Amino acid sequence: MKEEGQVKEIPAKKEQFSEWYTAVVLKAELADYAPVRGCMVIRPYGYALWENMQARLDARFKATGHLNAYFPALIPESFLKKEAEHVQGFSPQVAWVTRGGDSELTEPLALRPTSEAIINYMYARWVKSYRDLPVLINQWCNIFRWEKTTRLFLRTLEFLWQEGHTLHRTQEEAQEETRRILNIYVDFVENDLAVPVIAGKKPESEKFPGALATYSIEALMPDGQALQAGTSHNLGQNFSRAFDIRYLDEDNTEKHPWGTSWGVSSRLIGAVIMTHGDDRGLFLPPRIAPYQLVIVPILYGKNDAMVLETCQKAKEMLNAFRAKLDDRPQFTAGWKFNEYEMRGVPLRVELGPRDVEKNQAVLVPRDGSGKRTVSLDRLAEEVKNLLEELQNNMLSRARAWVASVTTSATTLEEFKKNLTEKPGFVKVHWCGAQECENRLIDETRTTPRNMPLEEQNTTGRCIICGKETRTLIYYARTY
């Protein structure tokens, strides 16, 4: 049977997580491997998912006063070298263009690994007075990083992202912006993607090259590994000094503005797949699913015309949703059920001759919670409620799971035991010393994720040296 065969081709999520992930990405037609190692093609279904994510995040940026612009992908080598830490941090991953047509270029051009350098260079030409501030610009674009090991969506040589780059008059404003964006990321990732995150500050060793402070949101994947889902950096005056951005303030003195930069990328698609998928395939949160529901007619060869007509009507009733009617006669209803489950469509609406007679439809949510029969008169309302319920349940379920594998440790032995028994986040107190961090990393093969903003008021002893501290930090294995 074709239906059965299709399901069996996806390895079990629990036993073969990595194979399961790749199979789901390929079979659901989200992406495919490109001819160049480490590159991927985002297929229409995956791109529709990205577009929905993009639209919802973009609306939040616009609502907080940001505008979109586009800067070139080619960046002169000398620009990257202007901020010392920045070039050091990125140089192992930069891809270079050294030839144009028949001739060697006099200066190699980097394919942007991030755009601080080119954008701040332009800002130096645009910002002259305090009246020009703040500058609140975002860019949606592709990024290149020459990664050694790659995985579809999670780590590829080229990927899609947004990067915000802002300038402010004061340090306080820049810090406010850094935190405002972090809050937007939390809201977007938790409420739209239904992926719970820990929001916090990165330790020095993990901050963005050239930043004063980096904040991140960290998600936990079902194999117990953390995935950095977004970052927001307070750049201080580092880039405005390096690129000599100066403005004349109200007091008639020249000053360097304070900067921020922040980004999330298409790797969030990987987080969505891993968090919600199951042995039958993808399960997409209704707010971002390319199709929120699919209508499948149940045809017996008798009264088919009437059933198809009612399906059309149902689709019109549901025009407030991203609805698809699959009335292709060459596929059976059973095949369609499996196909749309595998592709993660949150809700299926079934309509057969008996349903038409009774003026009803059958709703089947993707979470396996069972069929429900509803009157066609209340179809739109029932669908709306059910989609909201699904969205909320997805977040609650993911949250409960993360909580169940988040542990605390006060000794190295306890840390290692926790990690073996329940791979996930391990919370520890830390004195802030680099030696203590290095030892913990070496001993446990985990990395520090962040110092959660909401949990910094407990006193404890550093897990390594025993010194009293109020700093709590999350550790995990990571992608």
Q: Report the C-alpha gap between 386 and 381 in whole angstroms.
A: 9
466 conformational bin, left if phi > 0, alpha if psi -120 to 50, beta if neither = left
412 contacts Zn ion (rule: CB under 5 A): no
The answer to whether residues 287 and 192 touch, using CB atoms and an 8 Å cutoff, is: yes
In the block, tokens 């999670």 appear at: 154
* Minimal distance, residue 464 CB to Zn ion, in Å: 5
* Minimal distance, residue 431 CB to Zn ion, in Å: 3
320 contacts Zn ion (rule: CB under 5 A): no
Q: Which is nearer to Zn ion, 72 or 466 (CB)?
A: 466
Find the binder of Zn ion among 28, 157, 284, 462 (CB under 5 A). 462
How many residues make up the chain in this entry?
Answer: 479
111 contacts Zn ion (rule: CB under 5 A): no
The answer to whether residues 282 and 276 touch, using CB atoms and an 8 Å cutoff, is: yes
DSSP state of 48: H
41 contacts Zn ion (rule: CB under 5 A): no
Q: Report the C-alpha gap between 120 and 90 in whole angstroms.
A: 17
Site for Zn ion in 422-461 (CB under 5 A): 431, 433, 436
* Minimal distance, residue 435 CB to Zn ion, in Å: 7
Q: Report the C-alpha gap between 411 and 5 in whole angstroms.
A: 49
Q: Which is nearer to Zn ion, 235 or 464 (CB)?
A: 464
The answer to whether residues 52 and 288 touch, using CB atoms and an 8 Å cutoff, is: yes
* Minimal distance, residue 443 CB to Zn ion, in Å: 13
Binding residues for Zn ion, total number by CB under 5 A: 6
Q: Which is nearer to Zn ion, 309 or 468 (CB)?
A: 468
Tokens of 47: 């791109």
124 contacts Zn ion (rule: CB under 5 A): no
* Minimal distance, residue 467 CB to Zn ion, in Å: 5
Q: Report CA-CA distances (Å) from 250 to 169, 254, 329, 439.
A: 11, 9, 72, 50
* Minimal distance, residue 470 CB to Zn ion, in Å: 13
197 contacts Zn ion (rule: CB under 5 A): no
409 contacts Zn ion (rule: CB under 5 A): no
Reduced to 3 states (helix: H, G, I; strand: E, B; else coil), residue 230 is strand
* Minimal distance, residue 454 CB to Zn ion, in Å: 23
Q: Which is nearer to Zn ion, 105 or 412 (CB)?
A: 412
Q: Which is nearer to Zn ion, 368 or 466 (CB)?
A: 466
Interior angle at CA 328, CA 325 and CA 332, nearest 5:
105
In the chain, the amino acid numbered 385 is N
Task: List interacting residues with Zn ion (CB under 5 A).
Answer: 431, 433, 436, 462, 464-465
